[in-house]
Amino acid sequence: MTNNLSVAVIDYDAGNTLSVTRALKKVGAQVNLTPDPERVAAADAVVLPGVGAFGDCMRKLRERGMDEACLEAYRTGKPFLGVCVALQVFFEASEETPGVEGLGIFPGKVVRFDVGDFKVPHMGWNDLELVRPHPVLDGLSGEAFYFVHSYYPEPAEPADLLGVSDYGGAFCAAAGRENLAAVQFHPEKSSLAGLKLYENFLGWARSL
């Protein structure tokens, strides 16, 4: 893959797309913010941002045909990064919206924090601890990232877990398999560590 890597950022009215786009451009990506599944298919790499509720994100993806575009991007081996709620929609289901199916790439479900006196949603800076190495998270174990969420995924396959953070107990902060990696935190709100993650993603995408 050439250095002129084209990255499609999926625009489906459920993500912090502008800040993600700015961060990717800052580390040298050629970014196409698009609501068009065909442009996603034509890109070299794909980023799915996400904010809000699991069910709303899935509904908006399906309304735009982006659910199939995401699955096709994964199936065809495109380098694929998910951010925040996007991590959750890659799983099968969520307690937040019973009866709504996720994309189901990762086996497992999304659950609500049960952390006693800790406030929910979890908002603020927490350290990332890598469970296994991954190019997108290279050099980032121990770095602090910014989180805003009430739910987190529980991977059914231990090998899918890339990194954890701690909020009243350890929780999944990053997951990945094959050409897909996803994080619960907001890299674009996480200062230099976040930019490093996007830079790592570009390097990984060029290597695939």
Handedness of CA 200, 205, 206, 208 (dihedral sign): positive
Give bridge partners of residue 112 from the DSSP assignment.
Answer: 151
Which pair of tokens denotes residue 187? 């890299």
Q: Comparing C-alpha atoms, which of 35, 9, 11, 39 is closest to residue 24?
A: 9
Report how far residue 45's alpha carbon sits from residue 38's, in angstroms, rounded to the nearest whole number: 13
Instruction: Just list the catalytic residues.
Output: 84, 186, 188
Q: What is the largest CA-CA distance in the chain?
A: 50
Residues 6+ apart with CB under 8 A from 68: 37
3-state secondary structure 96-165: CCCCCCCCCCCCEEEEECCCCCCCCCEEEEEECEECCCCHHHCCCCCCEEEEEECEEEEECCHHHEEEEE
Distance CA 143, CA 87 (A): 19
